[in-house]
A and B are shown apart, each in its own frame.
Chain A
């Protein structure tokens, strides 16, 4: 029988640094909740808003797969491998920190905030060579279908990371339904609602709610409100 966990939007941890407002689904920085440390290999799900012209100065990372998904505004990334790039809504960035990397992240726009998700997934191998990737997310082939934006395979759709994880974005119109089948036995899925109201196997979810489901092969998602958007993160539960 499927097991599930619900993390409502209002139950998330948070940090307000003035220029940065962040909601943490899982324990991060000064927010520590031993009941909310990770969902399988998914370790960080931060919902960040950075003021215009502000950002994160140079800081290091290692041994983590770091995925950024802008929701509005534009985020400029510069790293110690020589990458200088701007990502905007409709794009995804993946970074394997591996043996170590330094980077800065700034809101390129002086006047508008940038909103983005920062997602960390435990790697399946420590101390890999650092790498950076950025891609435009393809439009769905048909309305009310899922779009794969991340996988473990360099030749597959979306960016790739060092973990048996698959991410899909979904946009459903009211009443539409999709079935999701896990990509790998032993994986679980964490569904995070970006817009609207959806139902996952009978559980109603609102904007920024998170819902984990595992010990099952498949589940379904139905749109309750007019415009819905959600992210499915299919990750190993044991890693």
Chain B
């Protein structure tokens, strides 16, 4: 089975772990987590992701730099800002991102 690969960026380690636990509980998804922009770019250079979930804790400048760099290097990779910090909106964010990807294909 093809799994959807998700990279999550989150500066707060506990919130990041909560998000990873929730995402990895879904059989068809696999999520990795990193704390910051540099690590995210490194991860993306060694593994192909389907969705990047941008969690809390980066500065506005870092967020913009990341989006610009990802758009340049991986134009098809959707970058989804995550809101809420837990299970409330997480699944809808991923479902909507995947829905848009399917429509585009």
Q: Which residues of A contact B (CB under 8 A)?
A: 27-30, 32, 34, 37, 43-44, 59-64, 97-102, 120, 122, 126-127
Question: Do most interface residues of chain A lie in helix, strand or loop, or is the interface mixed?
Answer: loop
B89 within 8 A of A: yes
> Given A28-B92, A60-B14, A127-B60, are A97 and B85 neighbors across the interface (CB < 8 Å)?
yes
A34-B99, A102-B14 given. 14 additional CB < 8 A pairs?
A28-B89, A30-B91, A32-B91, A44-B88, A60-B14, A61-B85, A62-B56, A62-B85, A64-B83, A64-B84, A97-B85, A99-B11, A100-B11, A126-B60
What residues of chain A lie closer than 8 Å to B50, measured between beta carbons? none
Cα A60 to Cα B12 in complex, Å, equals 10
Closest chain A residue to B10, Cβ basis? A62
A62's contact among B84, B91, B99, by CB below 8 Å, is which? Answer: B84
B86 contacts chain A at the CB level, 8 A cutoff: yes
**B12 adjacent to A62 (CB under 8 Å):** yes
Contact B89 A60, beta carbon cutoff 8 Å: no
CB-CB under 8 A from A37, the residues of chain B are 92, 96
Which residues of chain B from 59 to 95 have a CB within 8 Å of any chain A CB?
59-60, 63, 81-89, 91-92, 95
With contacts defined as CB atoms under 8 Å apart, how many contacts are there between chain A and chain B in the complex?
80
Closest to B84 in A: A64
**Nearest CB in chain A to that of B56: its residue:** A62
Instruction: Judge whether B15 is part of the interface by a CB distance below 8 angstroms.
Output: yes
B28 at the interface (CB under 8 A from A): no
A–B pairs, 11, beta carbons within 8 Å: A28-B88, A34-B96, A43-B89, A44-B88, A59-B18, A62-B56, A64-B84, A97-B85, A99-B57, A126-B63, A127-B57
Partner of A99, one of B56, B60, B82, B96: B56
Total residues of chain B contacting the partner, CB 8 A = 26
Is B58 close to A, CB under 8 A?
Answer: yes
Report A172 CB to chain B, min CB distance, Å. 32
Partner of B56, one of A27, A28, A29, A98: A98
Collect the chain A residues with CB atoms within 8 Å of residue B86's CB: 59-61
With both chains docked as a complex, state the minimum distance between the C-beta of B91 and any C-beta of chain A, in angstroms.
6
Q: Please tell me if the beta carbons of A32 and B92 are within 8 angstroms of each other in the complex.
A: yes
- Residues on A with C-beta less than 8 A from B12 are 60, 62, 99-100
Closest to B94 in A: A32
Q: Which residues of A contact B91 (CB under 8 A)?
A: 29-30, 32
CA distance A37 to B93 in the complex (A): 10
Cβ-defined contact, B85 with A64, below 8 A: yes
Q: Shortest distance in angstroms between B84's beta carbon and chain A's nearest beta carbon?
A: 5
Hey, which chain A residues are within 8 Å of B83, CB to CB?
Answer: 43, 62-64, 120, 122
Are the CB atoms of B89 and A100 closer together than 8 Å? no
